[in-house]
Amino acid sequence: MKTPVILLVDDEQNIITSLAGSLEDEGYTLLSASDGAQAMRIIKSQPVDIVFLDIWLPGMDGMETLKSIKDFNSGIEVVMMTGHGTVNTAVQAVKQGAFDFLEKPFSLDVVLNTVRRITEKWQAAAQAQAVSTVEEHDAARERSRLTGEAPEIIDIRRRIEKIVGTKAHVFLSGEVGTGKEIAARMLRGAEKSGRFASFHRLNCPLYDCAEASLELFGDSSGKAGLLTQPGRAVVYLASVEALDITLQDRIAEFLRKRQADPQLRVVASSALEPDEARADGKLSAGFADCFPERISLPPLRKRRGDIPLLLKHFMNVFCREYGVREKSFDDEAFEMLMNYDWPANVKELKNLIEKIVVSLHTKTVSAHDIPLSVRDDMQYNVSRSHERYATMHEAEDAWRKNFLLYHLRRNDRDIKRTAARIGVSEKQLKKYVGEYNIILTRENRTQRRMQRTLKRSMVLSGRGLHSGDKTGLILTPLPPGSGIVFGNISSGETIRANIHHVVSTDYATSLQVNGAAARTIEHLLAVLHAYRISNLMIKINNEVPIMDGSALDFCQMVEDAGLEEQEEPLDEIIVDRRHSLGESDRTKKFLTVEPADVFSVHYTLNYPRPVGRQEYTFVMSDAEDFKREIAPARTFGFLKDIEALNERGLASGGRLNNFILIDDEKIVNTDLRFPDEFVRHKIMDMVGDLYLLGRPLRAKITANMTGHSDNIALVRLLHDAYNL
């Protein structure tokens, strides 16, 4: 495998210098950048394999840069770095595709270990493409290692590496499911080293004293036991406290006689610490003394920061093993799994992920897909706490944490409201949230959203595209349940923005009821859709101003006013089946809508030169996505169409500074803001027209050469299908 090219991205030069020097000494090829934009220029100009990326960067921050890197080349592995890390940030970074998350200051060993794990992942992926037997071997190897970057886990891996080269017997302690058998198998050493050729496991509680003695020492007929067989071997005694004390003493005597024998390593494990088990009379003193090396594996609840890494690791392992596409967790599911105490530890997490991979057919895992036992434990009680927790202090902490989680959810994760209702100060509640590593997803997609309006009124003036008249735009907040309402500045007449009032879709979407009219509304409605503004009075002189032909001025107007969350919920329209208008044929006009986890539009445009064929997919995670990718795209038209519009008395407000004008050969009046600005503008029109449904939409839209009339037909279809 070739030496990886590593890009270091940090605005602190001392970090770059120290990391670069150390990594170059290890033989790696190093590049560096001081901000996200410079990093992207490097990535687009030359091969890069691994990026160490700081969260806090000037301009484009680390999370934005991570998204840009993954959008450009998902195969580049990104390791996030920060001096102000939180588990919340780690969750988001891993969800967006980061390989790992390191908190500063970190040692060179941690960095080198991270690079090693990445190269091991590549090697495993390359081997997995060979034959099925290799795939099975890779899957087993992936499961047979202690995954995690908690300091305790890193220290255990280092200790195991040192012990492997010795003759020492080892005692492993830890709760059920913490990985004691995995650690025992790691103590065998690498197969190619020939350190120990075989691994044998004895589950002690399954055998009485005579049976266990026969298994370990053989019988008088010459049958060898696990301890007496020839060849190099690791013998693993699971739950060793279940062995009879006399048998423990016999094992101890046997090991003392073979103290210098390099052929045998005994690894014993117990849920109890050796000294605790000896004090309880479950281990003999002589047996306990045979294990100079003792390793205690921490419960998962004590290394909660490793949960995102473990979720990603096991999801990758099982999706590869069962041949399915990798799934992701929505925010609420992540919150639940991060806050769960995992009484059966990593083993329970692994089993849960395997069950999800096998049984769930959707790409995204929601909170409702988490097994009921976990949800009940999280939401209602701490089950069997008298068995799960060793001390009163641990049990009280577990109760307090579940109490806080319950009330935080009841109050929509609002710290101020929750603190007031449970009778503690905000400061104290925040302290508890940090102390118990409670993860809150206040703005996740799956939770119920609230209605919105503006914090204050705003005024904008401009000119109508089709009328050519000067027109004003006054935005005024409205109370919950009011909806989007257009009003005439002069007459005071009003008209609600809904599908029943659409009267024209020629070149723009227009509404009319009696004497009230609202024309060319799609750009403004697109902005209200993106910012989820559900209650607003919009006063105009019959037509919304064109401004510069884009939606940027409307975005700025909304942001200057500020958003106000209201007390009433605003539920999304969730599409639950496929709907179509027209045949899905690239040569024909068609529209389809189908279930999806978020709102997205894939639009294909095919116009005569110089526009040509353009395609673009827009996923609207939040208003910033819309403002960055769609809002700058301007209205456009061909010269021959403008002449036809003029003959009809339309497009009188078209100016060289608010319209992209195209003749048969070129763009006449401006430089494009995007190479595919035309298709992005068509998506903006669709986002605006769809908001005539009155609520945000969760669905995937696929469109080919459609316009306003097709968009409105789709709105009518959805309106009727979902009884809106």
Catalytic residues: 708
CB-count exposure of residue 60 (10 Å: 0-12, 13-18, 19+)? middle
Which residues are CB-neighbours of 341 under 8 A, at least 6 positions away? 301, 377, 382, 388, 398, 401
Q: Answer yes or no: are the C-beta atoms of 715 and 692 closer than 8 Å.
A: yes
Spacing of C-alpha 544 from chain mean position: 39
Rounded to the nearest 10 degrees, the angle between the axes of helix 307-322 and helix 87-95 is: 20
**Rounded to whole angstroms, how far apart are CA atoms 242 and 232?**
26
The amino acid at residue 522 is: E
Instruction: Enumerate the β-bridge partners of residue 513.
Output: 516
| DSSP string across 344-377 | THHHHHHHHHHHHHHH--SSEE-GGGS-HHHHHH
364-365 vs 328-329, strand pairing mode: parallel
CB-count exposure of residue 474 (10 Å: 0-12, 13-18, 19+)? middle
Count the Cβ atoms, other than its own, within 10 Å of residue 599: 23
Half-sphere exposure of 398 (CA within 13 A, CB side): 24
**Rounded to whole angstroms, how far apart are CA atoms 678 and 637?**
9
Between vectors from CA 168 to CA 250 and to CA 149, what angle results, nearest 5°?
125
Spacing of C-alpha 175 from chain mean position: 29
- Direct distance between the N- and C-terminal alpha carbons of the chain, in angstroms, rounded to an integer: 58
Produce one character per residue of 443-465: b if its CB has 16 or more CB atoms within 10 Å, e if not.
ebbbbebbbbbbeeebebebbbb
Spacing of C-alpha 367 from chain mean position: 14
Residue 561, SS3 per DSSP = helix
C-alpha torsion sign, points 221, 222, 226, 228: positive
Q: Answer yes or no: are the C-beta atoms of 469 and 653 closer than 8 Å.
A: yes
**Rounded to whole angstroms, how far apart are CA atoms 113 and 109?**
6
For residue 485, give Cα distances in angstroms to 558, 572, 690, 724.
Answer: 16, 20, 16, 17
Q: Answer yes or no: are the C-beta atoms of 633 and 677 closer than 8 Å.
A: yes
Check residue 582 and report its DSSP letter: S
484-488 vs 536-540, strand pairing mode: parallel
C-alpha torsion sign, points 139, 145, 151, 157: negative
**Rounded to whole angstroms, how far apart are CA atoms 634 and 682?**
9
For residue 10, give Cα distances in angstroms to 18, 73, 306.
Answer: 12, 20, 24
What are φ and ψ of residue 329, in 5° steps? Answer: -100, 135
- Residue of 159, 128, 160 whose CA lies nearest to 141: 128
* Full strand arrangement of the beta sheet holding 510-513: 502-504, 510-513, 516-518
Q: Answer yes or no: are the C-beta atoms of 566 and 587 closer than 8 Å.
A: no
The dihedral over CA atoms of 231, 233, 239, 242, expressed in degrees to the nearest 10, equals 20
